[in-house]
Amino acid sequence: MAGFRGIWALVSTQGASSASGAGGQSLASEEREIIEGMRAGDDRAFERLVRVHIGPLHAVALRLLKNDADADDIVQEGFLSAFRNFDSFRGDARLKTWLHRIVVNAALQRLRRSKSRAGQQADVVDVTELLPRFADNGYPEHFHQPWVQTIEELATRAETREQVRQMIDKLPDNYRTVLILRDIEELDTSETAELLELSPGTVKVRLHRARQALRNLLERELELTANA
Amino acid sequence: MSEEDHCRAGRHGHRHDISCREVSEFLLAYLDRELDEPARTEFERHLQLCPPCVHYLDGYRDTIALVRACTRADAAPAEPSCESQRPKKAPPEGLIQAILSAKCRAAKRDPSE
């Protein structure tokens, strides 16, 4: 659990900055009851905290770790950490934001540890091969065509949604995590940089390459152009 | 004029001050509105003359939108139709019980919590 200690300052300040998103209105009554119950040591408040937040937290852990058992483990670790460190939760922050940072940070730590043990997975794509190529004079080697299907058409098909998720999972972890945090979890560049221990510039470069690689992969695998 | 010719129109009078490679490289900065005004103007002038770069930009934007659309209802299994009628995935009760038990054990080990 020692790995959690260093993030409390981070999650406190970031939680606070996200709390005013709903026009500065007071916390929802359920959230207030949970917070008051947690501070009073009420077991039922902890159970409500778990039941209200476990779904999205498990989803983000699963996105990052790609493994149910690891996601379960990290979510459990995250809730226990939140229980032990609830004193550090600031009342002006959203519980959802605070818990999200705890679980994301724990999942990233797990990912770093498992990567150093196991190396890269076999079905991961080479991002550099999926980036657009240019001649010396700056002209593209391949002239891009418009996509023949709209996002709405694509996203309504369950099979396509599953294919898209699988293609995201094929990106190398250092690109995949940036894409998940920026484009799915919608964290900003500085939050992402802090969680991943990278510079903001590196986050931007990786996000751009991840999107470019995924764009190419989607176009090719889903046959999105008339020439496909 | 084909799109390829159009893109290469720099040779025929529509001089591009930035290349297709630079458009690709600075796409993120453009979308995040981080280009200064002269660079943004050059970028947009290139787009007016270069349909392939416009298609690339559109596909890039669509990729972001598709990622969001396909992960919003995350963990939804591949199954036909009735998307809106599908019940939300139930919370994993076994995991909830495991967390509650672990918390009880942790509280007993350190009653101050």
- Mind spelling out the 3-state secondary structure of chain B? CCHHHHHCHHHHCCCCCCCHHHHHHCHHHHHCCCCCHHHHHHHHHHHHHCHHHHHHHHHHHHHHHHHHHHHHCCCCCCCCCCHHHCCCCCCCHHHHHHHHHHHHHHHHHCCCC
Is B98 within 8 Å of chain A by CB? yes
Q: Under DSSP, is residue A134 helix (H, G, I), strand (E, B) or coil?
A: strand
Q: Nearest CB to A140: which of B20, B59, B77?
A: B20
Contact B99 A76 (CB under 8 A): yes
Residues of A in contact with B102 (CB under 8 A): 76, 80
Question: What is the 8-class DSSP label of residue A225?
Answer: B
Q: What is the C-alpha to C-alpha distance for residues A42 and A222, in angstroms, rounded to an integer?
A: 51
Q: What is the C-alpha to C-alpha distance for residues B101 and B96, in angstroms, rounded to an integer?
A: 9
Is B80 within 8 Å of chain A by CB? yes
Amino acid at A70: D
Tell me what the mean pLDDT of segment B34-59 comes to: 95
List domains and CATH numbers for chain A. Answer: 2-118 (1.10.1740.10), 127-221 (1.10.10.10)
**Assign residue A66 a region: left if phi > 0, alpha if psi is -120 to 50, beta otherwise?**
left
pLDDT for the residue A91: 72
Above 70 in pLDDT, residue A197? yes
Contact B78 A155 (CB under 8 A): no
The stretches of chain A forming alpha helices (DSSP H) are 2-5, 8-19, 29-39, 43-65, 68-84, 95-118, 127-130, 151-155, 158-169, 173-179, 189-196, 200-221
pLDDT digits (tens, 9 = 90+) for A35-66: 999 999 999 999 999 999 999 999 999 999 99
Is A220 within 8 Å of chain B by CB? no
Q: Which of residues 7-36 of A touch B (CB under 8 A)?
A: none
Q: What is the ipTM of this complex?
A: 0.79
pLDDT for the residue A90: 82
Tell me what the mean pLDDT of segment B1-8 comes to: 54
For residue B100, what are the CA distances in angstroms to A69, A102, A150, A173, A214? 17, 18, 45, 32, 40
How many A/B residue pairs have CB atoms within 8 Å? 148
Return mean pLDDT, chain A: 86
pLDDT for the residue B85: 36
**Residue B79 burial (CB count, 10 A):** 11
Above 80 in pLDDT, residue A20? no
Q: Nearest CB to A151: which of B66, B80, B88?
A: B66
Contact B99 A75 (CB under 8 A): yes
pLDDT for the residue A217: 96
pLDDT digits (tens, 9 = 90+) for B71-110: 975 444 444 333 433 334 566 899 999 999 999 998 887 7
Distance from A17 to chain B by nearest Cα, in Å?
Answer: 21
Nearest to A16 by CA among A116, A109, A97, A86: A97
| Among the ranges given (A18-22, A211-215, B46-50), the one the predictor scored with the smallest mean pLDDT | A18-22
Structure tokens at A122: 């076999």
Distance from A13 to chain B by nearest Cα, in Å?
Answer: 23
